Amino acid sequence: MVRTSLNRGKSILVIKFITLFRQAKYVIINKISKIHTLKKGEHLLNILLNKLKEVSMTVFPITLLVLILHFTIVPIEGEMLIRFLIGALLVIIGLGIFLFGAHIGVLPIGHLMGETTAKTNRAYLVGLLGFLLGFLINVAEPDIQILARQVSLASGGLISFSSILIIVSIGVGIMVGVGLLRIVYEKPLNRIFTIVYFIIFLLGLNALEEFLAISVDASGATTGAMTTPFLLALGYGVSQLKGGKSAEEDSFGLVGLASAGPIFAVMFMSIVKGITNVQGEAEAFVPNVGIISPYIRVFPQLMKETFFTILPLFILFVIFNMAKFKLNRKSKSIIYKGLLYTYIGLTLFLVGVNAGFMEVGRIMGEAIATYYPNILPIIGFALGMVVVLAEPAVYVLTQQVEEVTAGHIKRKVILVALSIGIAFAVSMSMLRIMIPSLKLWHFLLPGFALAIFLSYKVPPIFVGIAFDSGGVASGPMTATFVLAFAQGAANAIPTANVLIDGFGVIAMVAMTPLVALQILGLIFNMKARREG
């Protein structure tokens, strides 16, 4: 009797989701069509102003936290504080412009490419196109390039920058191909994740301990500000064209699968190469001097890096448009403008983060660990709650969740669950730095096991959202400010290892959302059954 009641409740929930999806489908199509038929710029201006307003409210909490710590327990040098405030302003402006550009440029490209991929009707072409798109987009991801340099340094040059970049991108390409085939053949997402993480578990038993942290960190760094919007749109485009009763939940999960690719790819590389000893030294921390000069110094480099980040997507669009899309001049113009805005916004965002945020994170982490080590987990909890709100890809994901479900799953609810999950991740990372006996796998193994278990207990759409969120939460803000904070704390605590403990922070941030969002799914499921 109980089983029958539960099955009836699940059926009602599925029917409700399908109805909401069909409604949302026409809402999104109409919204995209309006963007592509604009004659004046007023509508675009309103979108941009709304994005800037939203972003300012999300960057404010982390700025306030830094100011509170400055005026209470960790005073910051005057020039450094001014640099931080300038960085906060650049983050707001850059993130707002980036989200605006992604809205009118990156997302439509992903939708179009997803539909084109699904139209091939041949499994090998779907898998091949998925691999190609995943590989090219990930090679250009800024976060993975930063991590590749860190891995090269940490290994004493044993693992080169190019090798880690290529291996990780191959892993992403493979899993994007698998993810698109899963959508086409309507395979359950939780079973795919069970198989993938079981393989990862077997590889982890034979991989070097240091590579556990490196591989999971690569997983988090893979799905950054460039990769995530594209993969979300790609998965959505394929699921829309395929249709069917599972189209809604199939819109999510591709980012989560892409995040799993680097884990097994890096572990497999370490086993095949027979690497038994990783040695290296952490890069020496040199504080910036001046207020404006640090921004002037990093601006040209980040302009160049961001250009090569956007270039593969631009080339792909030009090729696909000539061969398949054949858009009119007006539609092409808006997408080109979107890519330009994405480039400008991402550049300003990264300049603000690298020249203003990262240094303050390092200084604060070291000072708190030196003078107030007992409150380090508490500060880490507060930091984790606010830093995820400033991640660019988080807003792209939550916006798509709200649109696909016609507002039934609110973006604010997703943001709260993510904030709590990341808060525990950073707090536990601080405990791991403080207590030598705590190892990274003590947290990751039960965490991923619990995530797989919950995937069989929650509505399918929450499985995709949860595993996608693990990738988007560990973006450029986390990889800079939080990582710098952890490295500063590890540097001040004698028993900690800066390289090993620092690498593990991104891994923790990538794991906890999987559990937090699926717990939210359980709550949502119980509420839906009661209403049903």
pLDDT tens per residue across span 194-227: 998 888 888 877 777 667 777 877 877 777 767 7
When divided into structural domains, the chain yields a total of 1
Q: Specify the DSSP element, H or E, that contains 196.
A: helix 189-206
Angle at 269 between CA 156 and CA 511, to 5 degrees: 90
Q: Which of 60-74, 157-171, 320-334, 417-431 has the lowest mean pLDDT?
A: 157-171
Residue 31 phi, psi dihedral angles, 5° rounding:
-65, -45
Task: Please determine, for residue 294, whether its predicted confidence score (pLDDT) is greater than 80.
Answer: yes
* Per-residue pLDDT at 450: 92
The mean pLDDT value for 98-114 works out to 83
- Locate tokens 């007023």: which residue? 42
Please state at what angle helix 189-206 crosses helix 161-185, rounded to 10 degrees. 150
Q: H helices within 207-328, ranges in order?
A: 209-222, 227-242, 247-250, 254-273, 293-320
Domain that holds residue 169: 2-531
Q: What is the pLDDT of residue 17?
A: 35
Of residues 160 and 155, more confidently modeled: 160
